[in-house]
Every structure is written in C-alpha cells, then in structure tokens.
Structure 1
Amino acid sequence: MEIWLLVTAIFNFLMIAGVIQGFVFNIATFSSRRKIENPILFLNLFIFFLSLNNLQSWLRDKGFLFNEDYWGHFTIPWYVLIVPMFYAFLIYYLELESKRWPYLRLSLTLFVVELITRSVVYYLLGNGAIAQEFASLYDSLEDTVTFSYSLFLFVKAIRLIYKYQGLYPDILAYDDLRWVKKFMFLGGVVFALWLLSIFWNITGIVQKPYSFYPLRLSSSLLIYWVGYQGFFRYTMLKNRIVLRKEIRKKSKSTFDQGYKMFANSRTSRGAETFSKVKSHILKEQRYLDPYFSLEKLAEELDMSVSGLSKIINTNSNTNFSDFVNAFRVAQVKELLASDDFSEYTIAAIGLECGFNSKSTFYSAFKKNTGITPVQYKSQQR
C-alpha cells in the first residue's frame, strides 16, 4: 500500500509539473513575441488545452473542485480540443490553409455539444431523473466519440507528413520534419494508452481515476517535448527563410573573401584547375548546399572524382569536406559579425550556410577558428 501511495505521489508531481511547464511556456511565448503567427497561436493552444485538461484532472483527484455528489465528478471536456489544435498548427506550419481544412469550426462545435450534453446529464443525475449507470454509459460514449474524432485528425496528420509531401516542397527545403515524425510516434503511444483507458473504464478492470494515470502521465511528458520542439522549429524555419534570401545577396563579398582562402598553399601542379574549382564553388555558392558532395562537383566540372579529389587535397592540404566547410565557416563568421543578422539564431545561420546539422556546424566552426560560434559572436560585440 505504501508503494502504491508513493507511485501516486510521483505521478501527481510529474503531472502538475507538466501543467506548470505548459502554462510557463504559454506566458513566455506570448510575452516574447510582438506578433503571434497562426502556427505559434495553435501550438500554444494545443499546450494550453492539454495543460488545462491535466490541471482539471489533478484538481478533481485531489478533491479541490466541487464537493457535492455528482457535480464533484463534472469536468469540462478540454481534451476534445487537444488534437484539433495540433492539427491546425500543422496545417499553418506547412502553409496548407488554402489546401486543407484545419477543422476548427467542427472541433469547437463538438466541444460545445459535449459540454452542453454533459451539463444536462449531470443536472438530471443530480435531480435523480436518471441513474448513475446512465451517466457512466454517457461518459464511455463521449470518450469513444472524442477518441474517434481525435484519431481521425491524427491519421490525417500522418498522411500529410508521409503521403502528401508534394504539397509543401518549400517547407521541406528548410525543415525535414523529423521532429514531427517523432511526435507522431509519441502521439501514437498516447492514443494507445487512451484506448486502453477506455477499455478499462468500460470493463471496470481498472477504476477511475487510476485508469487514466498512464494517459495523463504520457500527455504531461508530451508537453515538455512538443512545446520546445514546435516553438524552436518554427522560429528556426522563419529565420532560415529570411536568411536564405539575404545570404544569397552577399555573393560578391563572399566570393572575394573566399577566393583568397588557400591561396598560399597552392602548388604549381594543378593550380590553374584548383583556381577554377574554387571559383565555381564560390560563384555558384555551392557550399550553401548541405548535400553538396565531391561526386556532384566532379559531375558539374566534368572531371573524374579521383582526379578532382587529388587536386583539392594537393592545393588545399585538406580533404573535400574540410575544404568546403572552410567556406561555410567564413560565411558564418561574416554573418555573426554583422549587426544586420544579430536577431537570428546562431543555429539558423549555420544551417543556412550549408551545414546539415547543428553538431556538424559547431564542430567545423571550432576546428577552423579554435572557438565556438557563441564565443566568436560575443567577441564581435
């Protein structure tokens, strides 16, 4: 019995901690942005309704809500709006609002209908007009309807991510959506636990509120993860869209600066070809392509891969990867030193300068400069 009380206490702590984190996230997000874009709005509403639902459950289980019979078990069906808000966030994040419905009106209608119906059921129950068994049956029916509707939107979200990528090629140029795919996996676990809770409630194998404990705990953990990921990724996306336009305007200064690199390490053998190779990479800004490879360069210059590799190694005293990364780092340094780019995150700058991951960017920058991008930026101020 003591072990079960300890487990319950830990569960309650984790759930209320998740609720607090969710509300803090909402406050911090709205207070830190001058303009609240639709993706940020619906991401915050997703976290807000999830937090409200868990807070309400925690307060009810603790006995802090109504004490009267029947009404003490009444709750507002916030959980109806959780999945719809994430689906709306996804629609606006992928810029598909003109191609796909966000189902906002239908979701709000379902919420209002369930709220009114639930109020009527509990009013009749409190006046003895219906039996407790009928109220329990309604709860199970409402859970089933909400689960089915939420699952419907969840499946539509999965299809958007895995089947209809052709609808948003511009977004995929900046975000591979791996974080969304991870969320879909975690969301699938939550749905499985939700279905399990409904089964427990219908069969009576596990009684309320314990039947909802796994579901509430998993949703609380989801708040921690999706709050950071969604906000960070959207901020990164907007930064990269603007950065990509600005970086490509700086081709002249980058070309002049980059062309001077490796100038002192050239040898007479293959020097002219090496100069053409470097000129091509800089003039065409090929170093900004995170998937740029020695094979691609050889094809563009109509050279053999082995011959091109030898020329680069001989004249730069380094391999192809480090050779291209040196241009990327030079571009990053230029942007970090400019006040015009001070509002953009360092990670966004690194990714838009051609690095395919944050870790690769930080590693290459320190290898070329001996310090981290953060340290370099602080030295420029």
Structure 2
Amino acid sequence: MNTIFTVGIFLSLFLATLLFVKKNKSLADNVLGVWMVTISIQLASYYLYFLGYWETYPHLVGVTTPFPLLFGPLLYLYVDFSLRKAPRFRPKDWLHFLPFAITYLAMTPFLFGYSAEQKLLADSLDFNSEFKSLFITGFVMFFITAVIYPVFAYRKITNYQKYISDNFAYKETISLRWLKNLIWGAAAIFLSVIIAFLLQEGLNVDFGFKAEIIPDILVVIFIAVLGFFGIRQQGIFNDTHTHTSNPDIDAVAPEKESYKKSGLKTSDAEILHQKLLDLMKNEKPYLEPKLSLSQLAEKLDITSNNLSQIINQCDEKNFYDFVNGYRVQEFISLASSPQNKNMNLLGIALDAGFNSKSSFNQVFKKITGKTPREYLLSD
C-alpha cells in the first residue's frame, strides 16, 4: 500500500513539473498541472492518515476535505481550454470553484476554532459528529459536480466536433479520443467514490477498511495511465499543441431549422449552389489542405452562414464531408493516371488536398467503403 501511494504522489508531481516547465505551454497545460498537484496533495493527505499521522498531528484533519470539489471543475476547464484559444481565465471560469471556496468557509470554525482533541473526536465520529450536516452537504456537492462536469465536458467535445465539421475541411491536431478517454477515466473514479460512500455510510457495509482507499487506488492507476499515454499524446506534454481559432466552441453552426430565418430564398440558393459547384470544378479550392468555410464563402462573395445552408440543404452534407468528397474523387483521378503510377498513395493524397495519412484513410473508407488500395485494385 505504501508503494501505491508513493508512486501516485511522485508521479503526479512529476507530470505537473513536465507541464509547468514545457515551452510554449497553454492555459490547458497549466490547468492540467494544477489538477496533478491537487491530486498529489489529496493522495499525500490520505497517505498520512493511513500511516497514522493525523493522530500525531490532529490539525491535519479536514485540511484537504474540500479538495475533491476541484476535480470536476479542473477536468471541465482542461477540456474547455484544450479546444479553444484561451490566454487567461474569464471571470465566469472562476465560478466553477465556488463550491470549493464555500466549503472551506463553512469549515472555518472547525479548522481554526477546534482544539486538537476536538478534531480527533470529530474525525472518529465522522458522520455522527456535530458536523454531520456539513459532511452530507459536501458529499451532495461532490455528487453534483461528479455528474455534471463529465457530462458538460463531453458535450463540449461534441459541439467542437460539429463546429469543425461545419467550418473546416481538415481535422485539428488535438486528439479528441484522448480527451474522451480522460473524461471516462475521471467519471469512473467519481462514480467509485459515490458508490463506496453510499455502501459504507448509507448501507453500513463493512469493508474492513476506509472506503476512500478504493478511489484513491483508482486515482493512482489513472495517474499512471495519464503519464504513460500522455507523454506520447500530441499536444499535452510536448510543444505542438494547437487550438482551433473559434472563440467559443458552444457557438456551433446553426441547425437546418434556423436556416428558415436566414432570408435566403430557395431560387437564390439553387443559383448559388450551381456557382459553388462550378467553383469546385474549375478552381479546385479543395486542393488547399486547410480550406475553411469562411475562405470558400469569400470566394463566392456570400456569408459563411449562407454557404453552410446551401451545402446542408442542397448536398445534405456538412462542410467537411462536402469538401473531402471532392478530394477523394481527385485522388482517384490522380491515382488512375499513368503518369502517377510510380507515386506512393500518400503523396497522391497530399496532392489531392488531404493533410495527413490518417484523415485520408478515414475519409476515403467512409465515402467508398474500401481502403484506397482495395479500391484501386478492384477498379
């Protein structure tokens, strides 16, 4: 048990150090670093309790009690800042830490007014002490944050994916799968805390040990996985983290129903759609790897919203699928040409407008149902 806690504490501090000293670190890196430090303090606190130091130094009792209320907000803010440019905290971002601050204020009489003997007695009585209502309120607040923050973070990623598909013809370099796995891991730990508490305190299940040790062990595993995969993950522990330029990922492209208010008549939409098709055929703007909705709209001298409406209604696609459909056809045309028979498939894909092998393979199979090589061999 000593080894588990020691590994968790030092590994979380090591990861925090990597984040704080890296070059060109982002606000998301700082938030993740603070989260790692917070976890290390929480683990150290429980480790000291496990070793019996709280009995020797009773004033440690309750010092880190509100810390779990930081985990949900830090998870959400890390995901939020990973998906958008954010040079600093906005005033509303600080509101996420209100439950943490309120809990500390409510604990002021206990932290600064109780003697060492009274703190030890309160700790031994736990939920049967005079602070029972405070403990219950703190747990309810943790329950709420443990539920809503992973949900909100996941929703943030969903909105981001829609924004990218509706406005860009390429994928950002940050791995959304990584962020989703991070959310699922944190949610699993939150859930374990809730279940362990309800079993021990609500149903009086005797584990033979403090139930808090279960989520603490899961936290150590979580930190180990974060360290192993995070070191290899682009944009977290290296210096190549890029963000999309959209100011607010909640402001996703409008749904089809909202197009009714755009003022674009059906006849005008058909004319503009034909202009769009002519432009795609004659000027081939899709060959630009980082083509965006606004860039294409500027070529047509229309608004981005109107172009999005035209593509959605006339082609029944989002911008990403619309543009990459042309790139797939361009690849097929280039690959079928005798003069390109000695070129590798990736080189041809890059000439067709794709900016990476992974996005090319994914898009090609989605559109044709086959891998590029399978398609060319069957043609």
| TM-score > 0.5, shorter chain as reference | yes
Label 1:240 to 1:71 Cα distance change in 2 as closer, same or farther (>3 A).
closer
Label 1:140 to 1:29 Cα distance change in 2 as closer, same or farther (>3 A).
same
Q: Distance in 2 between matches of 1:116 and 1:218?
A: 30
For residues 148-196 of structure 1, the C-alpha deviation after alignment (integer angstroms, 9 at most, x for no partner) is: 2343322221221235655676796333511111112212211220111
Query: Which residue in the other structure is 1:272 paired with?
Result: none
Q: Distance in 2 between matches of 1:298 and 1:79?
A: 49
CA contact (8 A) 2:13 2:37 kept: yes
1:116 matched to 2:108? The reply is yes
CA contact (8 A) 1:287 1:325 kept: no
**Worse-matched range after superposition: 153-162 or 117-126:** 117-126
Query: Which residue in the other structure is 2:242 paired with?
Result: 238
Count residues with an aligned counterpart. 282
Q: Quick one: which of 8, 29, 41 aligns to 1:18?
A: 8
Pick 1 or 2: higher relative contact order, CA cutoff 8 A, min separation 6. Answer: 2
Label 1:321 to 1:213 Cα distance change in 2 as closer, same or farther (>3 A).
same
Q: Distance in 1 between matches of 2:5 and 2:72?
A: 19
CA contact (8 A) 1:19 1:54 kept: yes
Label 1:107 to 1:181 Cα distance change in 2 as closer, same or farther (>3 A).
same
Query: Which residue in the other structure is 1:83 paired with?
Result: 72
> So what's the TM-score if we normalise by structure 1?
0.58
Query: Which residue in the other structure is 1:27 paired with?
Result: 17
Label 1:298 to 1:88 Cα distance change in 2 as closer, same or farther (>3 A).
closer
| 2:34 alignment partner AA | L
Label 1:122 to 1:80 Cα distance change in 2 as closer, same or farther (>3 A).
farther
1:190 matched to 2:189? The reply is yes
Label 1:238 to 1:67 Cα distance change in 2 as closer, same or farther (>3 A).
same
Q: Distance in 1 between matches of 2:106 and 2:208?
A: 20
Label 1:237 to 1:128 Cα distance change in 2 as closer, same or farther (>3 A).
closer
CA contact (8 A) 1:80 1:146 kept: yes
Where does 1:189-228 land on structure 2 (aligned, <5 Å)?
Answer: 189-202=188-201, 203-206=203-206, 209-226=209-226
Please give the secondary structure, in 2, of the residue aligned with 1:237: coil
Query: Which residue in the other structure is 1:62 paired with?
Result: 51
CA contact (8 A) 1:144 1:198 kept: no
Segments of 5+ residues of structure 1 without an aligned counterpart are 1-8, 242-279, 329-351, 361-381
Query: Which residue in the other structure is 2:129 paired with?
Result: 134
Please give the secondary structure, in 2, of the residue aligned with 1:356: helix
CA contact (8 A) 2:48 2:54 kept: yes
Q: Distance in 2 between matches of 1:98 and 1:165?
A: 23
| 2:157 alignment partner AA | I
Query: Which residue in the other structure is 1:311 paired with?
Result: 336
CA contact (8 A) 2:110 2:119 kept: no
Segments of 5+ residues of structure 2 without an aligned counterpart are 246-282, 292-319, 363-379
Q: CA deviation at 1:296?
A: 2.7
Query: Which residue in the other structure is 2:27 paired with?
Result: 38
Q: Distance in 1 between matches of 2:242 and 2:357?
A: 17
| 2:148 alignment partner AA | F
**Worse-matched range after superposition: 114-123 or 196-205:** 114-123
Where does 1:362-381 land on structure 2 (aligned, <5 Å)?
Answer: none
Q: CA deviation at 1:286?
A: 5.2
For residues 132-161 of structure 1, the C-alpha deviation after alignment (integer angstroms, 9 at most, x for no partner) is: 322573434423322323433222212212
Q: CA deviation at 1:71?
A: 5.0
Percent of aligned positions with the same letter in both sequences? 11
CA contact (8 A) 1:201 1:207 kept: yes
Q: CA deviation at 1:109?
A: 1.9
Q: Distance in 2 between matches of 1:293 and 1:41?
A: 36
CA contact (8 A) 1:84 1:104 kept: yes
For residues 303-325 of structure 1, the C-alpha deviation after alignment (integer angstroms, 9 at most, x for no partner) is: xx5xx36733x323357724426
Label 1:94 to 1:81 Cα distance change in 2 as closer, same or farther (>3 A).
same
For residues 68-125 of structure 1, the C-alpha deviation after alignment (integer angstroms, 9 at most, x for no partner) is: 6x65744422222222222222222222776974534524423522542552686597
